[in-house]
Amino acid sequence: MANTRDIRRRIKSVKNTAQITKAMEMVAASKMRRAQQAAMAGRPYSEALHQALLSLRDRVDQESHPLLVQRPVKKTLVLLLTSDKGLCGALNTNVLRDIAELDSSSTVFVAIGRKGASFLARTGRLMIADFLLSDHPTFLQTKPISQFCLEQFLSGSVDQVNILYPKFINTLVQRPVNLQLLPISMEQSSVISQPSKATASLTHTPSSENEIKKDILETGEYLFEPTRDNVLNAILPYSFHFEVFQKVLDERAAEQSARMVAMKAATDNAKNLIKDLTLEYNKARQASITTELLEITTAQMALQ
**Beta-strand pair 174-182/107-112:** unpaired
Distance between CA 233 and CA 112 in Å, rounded?
27
The alpha carbons of the chain give a radius of gyration, in whole angstroms, of: 30
What gap in Å lies between CA 165 and CA 94, rounded to an integer? 10
User: Reduced to 3 states, what is the DSSP secondary structure of residue 214?
Assistant: helix
State the burial class of residue 101 (Cβ atoms within 10 Å of its Cβ: 0-12, 13-18, 19+): exposed
Question: With contact defined as beta carbons under 8 Å apart, do 144 and 32 qualify?
Answer: no
Rounded Cα distance between 298 and 293, Å, is 8
Q: Are 134 and 140 in contact (CB under 8 A)?
A: no
Integer CA distances (angstroms), 75 to 25, 98, 151, in order: 41, 18, 14
Q: Beta strand 174-182 with 76-81: parallel, antiparallel or unpaired?
A: unpaired
Amino acid type, 121: A
The CA distance from 88 to 266, in Å, is 11
CA 300 to chain centre: 72
Contact 78, 162 (CB under 8 A): yes
Task: Given the residues 88, 186, 244, 263, select the one marked as catalytic.
Answer: 88
Say whether 149 is catalytic: no
Separation between Cα atoms, residue 77 and residue 56, nearest integer Å: 27
Q: Pairing state of beta strands 127-131 and 174-182?
A: unpaired
Contact 281, 11 (CB under 8 A): yes
Q: Which residues are catalytic?
A: 88
